[in-house]
Structure 1
Amino acid sequence: MLDFWNNYPIIQKRLQAVCSLIEQRVTIDNREIQEALLDFTRSGGKMLRPAFFLLFAELAEEKRVSETGLLELAASLELLHMATLVHDDIIDDSPLRRGEVTIQARYGKDVAVYTGDLLFTIYFEILIEHINGSPFMAENAQAMKRLLLGELDQMQTRFLPTKTLDQYLNSITGKTAELFRLACVEGAYFGGADENTQQLAATIGQNIGIVFQIYDDILDYVSSTATLKKPALEDLAQGIYTLPLLLARQADPAAFEPYLNEQITKQEAKKVARLVKHYQGVKKAKAFAQTYIDEALVAIQQLPAGPAQQMITQLADQLLKRTY
Structure 2
Amino acid sequence: MKLHPLWADYPTLQKELIETRTLMESSVRLKNKEVEQAILTMIESGGKLLRPAYQLLFSRFGVENDRKKAIAIAASIELLHTATLIHDDIVDEADTRRGVASIRSKFGNSTAVYAGDYLFVSCFKLMSDYASSLKSLQLHSKSMEKILNGELGQMDHRYQYTITIEDYLDTISGKTAELFALSCGIGALESGTSERFAKKASDIGMAIGMAFQIIDDVLDYSQTDQSLGKPVLNDVKQGVYSLPLIISLSEQSPELLALIKKQTSMTIEDQQRIWEIVHETKGVEKAYQYAIDYTQKALKLISSLPDSPQKKELVQLTKTILDRIN
Measured against the shorter chain, the TM-score band is: over 0.9
Distance 2:123 2:225 in 1: 31
Contact 1:82 1:119 in 2 (8 A): yes
Shift of 1:198: 1.4
How many residue pairs get aligned? The number is 321
Q: Is 20-29 or 176-185 further displaced after alignment?
A: 20-29
The SS at the match of 1:233 is: helix
TM-score of the superposed pair, with normalisation by structure 1: 0.94
Are residue 72 (structure 1) and residue 72 (structure 2) matched?
Answer: yes
Q: Which amino acid aligns with 1:143?
A: S
Structure-1 residue corresponding to 2:111: 111
Question: How much identity, in percent, do the aligned residues show?
Answer: 38
Distance 1:259 1:171 in 2: 24
Shift of 1:236: 1.2
2:279 to 277, 280, 283: 277
CA RMSD between the two structures: 1.8
User: Which 4+ stretches in 1 moved above 3 angstroms?
Assistant: 224-228
Structure-1 residue corresponding to 2:255: 255
| 1:11-22 equivalent positions in 2, closer than 5 A | 11-22=13-24
Structure-2 residue corresponding to 1:154: 154
Structure-2 residue corresponding to 1:90: 90
Deviations 1:238-278 (A, max 9, x none): 21111001112222332221133332233322211111011
Contact 1:180 1:209 in 2 (8 A): yes
Structure-2 residue corresponding to 1:212: 212
TM-score of the superposed pair, with normalisation by structure 2: 0.94
| 1:308-323 equivalent positions in 2, closer than 5 A | 308-323=310-325
Distance 2:96 2:55 in 1: 28
| 1:10-49 equivalent positions in 2, closer than 5 A | 10-49=12-51
Where structure 1 has 5 or more consecutive residues not aligned to the other structure, the ranges are: none
> Structure 1 residues 225, 26: CA separation in 2 closer, same or farther (over 3 Å shift)?
farther
Q: Which amino acid aligns with 1:46?
A: K
1:301 to 289, 293, 303: 303
Contact 2:83 2:117 in 1 (8 A): yes
Shift of 1:81: 0.3
Structure-1 residue corresponding to 2:102: 102
Contact 2:146 2:175 in 1 (8 A): yes
Q: Which has the higher contact order (CA 8 A, sep 6+)?
A: 1
Distance 1:226 1:209 in 2: 29
Where structure 2 has 5 or more consecutive residues not aligned to the other structure, the ranges are: none
> Structure 1 residues 225, 29: CA separation in 2 closer, same or farther (over 3 Å shift)?
farther
> Structure 1 residues 26, 227: CA separation in 2 closer, same or farther (over 3 Å shift)?
farther
